[in-house]
Structure 1
């Protein structure tokens, strides 16, 4: 891990970090789109661009997210930087679990599976290993359970094939 990545993980717990990061999301989204998912979050953490269908608008909505690989799937979390409301993309996935990820220059169709119970606990451990600040975000969410999703590839290109 780079020195900048180590520093980012340490300051990720600070309240100001979420506010600054939220301001940078549009720029991160644009860079991710221009690089077809090769560069997201400045390459500091494993990241992808998730494109969902807006539950009210029906339009594509793209968001840069940290992920961890889990067998053939990508695991993402709706932490919303510890805010008390769910991120829009997670509600979009609940309304329509069909989505697309752009990761490492590849576009992959996925189906979102909300994780619950023991499976959520297992995936939570993977996520906090990658980004320990999720524990802080959970405390800030004031009792709101933070959603965890497995994004499972579908179709003919349905495997990470060692790319995750």
Structure 2
């Protein structure tokens, strides 16, 4: 029996929940590419509830690391998933059929320009989101906890 804190709650946004469901049901065959962009499933621990929360996000790559932009569509507040991983940086990922854990951190000011370029080239809308947002959009680096060959 799964304890309530170990049950994974999917995004309450209907189209995101549908994306997650298709991703899970096909082990990433459907959903890994979404609108032509690579996506992953990120599971974080809720900073207030302690519950596991899952969402689907566009990702980029920097060698063995995965990159995310906490854009929240350019809103002036950070997305909940970002606030959760800043509180508890141990996260779970599904990338296509691969399931693994990772450690999340926000890119430093020195790291961000090069990594931002990767993400803005992948999904140009991020630059537009940054233009309309009153906040600096964080760029998240996810470092897998096992070597890629061991997954």
Name the CA distance, whole Å, in 2 between partners of 1:86 and 1:92. 10
**Equivalent residue, structure 2, for 1:159:** 147
Match among 125, 135, 141 for residue 133 of structure 1:
125
Bigger shift: residues 30-39 or 62-71: 30-39
The reply to whether residue 149 of structure 1 matches residue 137 of structure 2 is no
User: Which string of whole-angstrom CA distances, capped at 9 and with x for unpartnered residues, describes residues 77-135 of structure 1?
Assistant: 10011111100000001000000110111101000021021201111000001001101
d(CA) in 2 for partners of 1:38 and 1:76?
A: 21
Structure 1 runs of 4+ aligned residues shifted over 3 Å read none
- TM-score, length-scaled by structure 2: 0.84
1:24 CA drift (Å) = 1.7
CA RMSD in angstroms comes to: 1.8
- In the TM superposition, residue 43 of structure 1 has moved relative to its aligned partner by 5.8
Are residues 1:31 and 2:22 paired? yes
Q: Report which of the two has the higher share of helix.
A: 1
Unaligned runs of at least 5 residues, structure 2: 1-12
Q: In the TM superposition, what is the alpha-carbon distance from 1:23 to its structure 2 partner?
A: 5.1
Output the CA distance in 1 between the equivalents of 2:50 and 2:102.
18
